[in-house]
Amino acid sequence: MKTNKLNKLFLLAVVVLAILTACDKHDHIDDNVLVGKMAAHTYWDLSSSTVTAGDFVEFTAQYYSTSETPIDRLEVWYSLDQEEARMVSCPWITTFSYSYISTAVTEQRISQKVSEYAHDVANWNDSINAFLFTDRFPTSNTLGVTGWMTPTQFDSTKMVGYFGEGFMQHFKDSLYALMQFEDFRTMLMGLNLITDFKPYTEATFDENKKDSVYHFPQVGDEYPVPDDVRNAYESIPFADLIFNSSTSNYSVEFKRTYYLRAILKCIDENGTIGVALKKDVTLN
């Protein structure tokens, strides 16, 4: 019995020794991890995160390297994103709020170099133990904000251009499917398409509310929209559907904005790159 225990202990020791030997000979971390070249430590800050399209963006950079390879240059790169925000609402609705709202962001251009700056050893600053550099990079004057916000004049060409060919009819059809009796009455009488709504009105006393509830005439078990009411609605131009009579403008908004996603690269003579944190710039 004692001999068996000793044998088991011996075998366990052999196994542990074999594992340790294997780890020593086949260190997967040491075999597979590549130790990269030391890049420059780089930091930058912008004078403003919002600029007018076409203006320069001023920045200040701090950088240093612990590598023996000299620093060669700095570069500014940025990608371009486009954001389009749309909103349309119908102010005639009284029983609920009906609006179309969307925001879409798309990348218009991948990151590209826009500026390059030669490294100058004279920029060394003893107080921060780093090179201190101030300069600027350009933006395009074609990337300003495009806006069409609650206009006082409706423009069908802009409506189609900003919202798409079939949007107006789709908006109108979707709204119709949700409208209640009171919405039809408010809208059609407000637009003077029907001057007397009594022929299309019935009332039922609601015991819970202790009041009369108005609705379209009952047909069987349903309260369908009368043909005259439907035809009057279908005759409404889209512009009238979104016109706000209390403010005398149209409840439509479109805004296109561009954003730069900028990075600063510090590159040494061997091509090793240190990258500062990305900065976002909004173009007005």
Instruction: Give pLDDT < 50 ranges for the chain.
Output: 1-35
Q: What is the DSSP letter of 222?
A: B
- Closest alpha carbon to 269 in 131, 73, 41, 133: 73
Helix (H, G, I), strand (E, B) or coil at 171: helix
Contact by Cβ (8 Å): 37, 222: no
Helix (H, G, I), strand (E, B) or coil at 10: helix
CB atoms near residue 249 (< 10 Å):
17
- Extract the tokens encoding 242: 């979104």
Which pLDDT value is given to residue 38?
Answer: 86
In a domain, 162, yes or no: no
- Say yes or no: 256 and 146 in one domain: yes
Which pLDDT value is given to residue 10?
Answer: 41
In a domain, 155, yes or no: no
Quote the number of domains for the chain: 2
- 3 state SS for 114-146: EEEEECCHHHEECCCCEEEEEEEECCCCCCCCE
What is the spatial distance between Cα 98 and Cα 107, in angstroms, rounded to a whole number?
Answer: 30
In a domain, 284, yes or no: yes
For the segment 57-96, what is each residue's pLDDT rounded down to a tens digit? Answer: 999 999 999 999 999 999 999 999 999 999 999 999 999 9
- Say yes or no: 116 and 194 in one domain: no
In a domain, 238, yes or no: yes
Which pLDDT value is given to residue 151?
Answer: 98
The CATH number that applies at residue 125 is 2.60.40.10
In a domain, 25, yes or no: no
In a domain, 205, yes or no: yes
- Say yes or no: 125 and 256 in one domain: yes
The alpha carbons of the chain give a radius of gyration, in whole angstroms, of: 35
H helices, E strands: number in the chain? 7, 15
Given the structure tokens 């620093």, which residue do they identify?
71
Which structural domain range is residue 195 located in? 167-247
In a domain, 2, yes or no: no
- Say yes or no: 82 and 171 in one domain: no
Contact by Cβ (8 Å): 213, 181: no
- Say yes or no: 243 and 257 in one domain: no
| Residue 108 identity (one-letter amino acid) | Q
- Say yes or no: 219 and 267 in one domain: no
Give backbone dihedrals phi and psi of 132, rounded to 5 degrees, phi first: -120, 125
What is the spatial distance between Cα 131 and Cα 59, in angstroms, rounded to a whole number?
Answer: 14
- Say yes or no: 177 and 86 in one domain: no
- Say yes or no: 207 and 226 in one domain: yes
- Say yes or no: 231 and 266 in one domain: no
Which pLDDT value is given to residue 6?
Answer: 38
CB atoms near residue 156 (< 10 Å):
11
Which pLDDT value is given to residue 209?
Answer: 77
- Say yes or no: 266 and 145 in one domain: yes
Residue 15, sorted as left (phi over 0), alpha (psi -120 to 50) or beta, turns out to be: alpha
Residues 6+ apart with CB under 8 A from 26: none
- Say yes or no: 144 and 255 in one domain: yes
In a domain, 14, yes or no: no
- Say yes or no: 236 and 269 in one domain: no
Looking at the chain, the whole-number percentage of residues with pLDDT higher than 70 is 87
What is the spatial distance between Cα 47 and Cα 6, in angstroms, rounded to a whole number?
Answer: 76
What is the spatial distance between Cα 200 and Cα 203, in angstroms, rounded to a whole number?
Answer: 10
